[in-house]
Structure 1
Amino acid sequence: MPDYRSDLVDIAGKIERETDRAWRFNDGTRTVWLPKSQVEWDPDARTMAMPEWLARDKELI
């Protein structure tokens, strides 16, 4: 069975603002809006998991 998590990346940062559909996320360098439908916030680790393509598109990696 394929590992679907392999194309996900975890980016450390903080949530600055939240709407029903998105989070405004700051990684210490850049602030971007991320759609909740594409990402998952881990409050304990303070990381946002997202597809690699989205992280590249938002210039987080």
Structure 2
Amino acid sequence: MRLRIDDMTCDGCARAVTRTIQRLDPEAQVAVDRPGGTADVTTKAESEALVNALTKAGYPAEVLAA
């Protein structure tokens, strides 16, 4: 799925986004495009759970494509 993720301003933010996603699914594959503000994620986790976890971590997110 592709997520739009706000407030990723540095590489540390991109790593935090990846860690947050992998806490929900340790086997998730995450490709962050920090300048574009998106992440392509292959995961077994529910999209709603990802959005909620990222938002709680300070990175408001929304699903662009499933």
> Shorter-normalised TM-score: what interval?
0.3 to 0.5
For normalisation by structure 1, the TM-score amounts to 0.42
Structure whose CA Rg is larger: 1
Which is helix-richer, 1 or 2? Answer: 2
For normalisation by structure 2, the TM-score amounts to 0.40
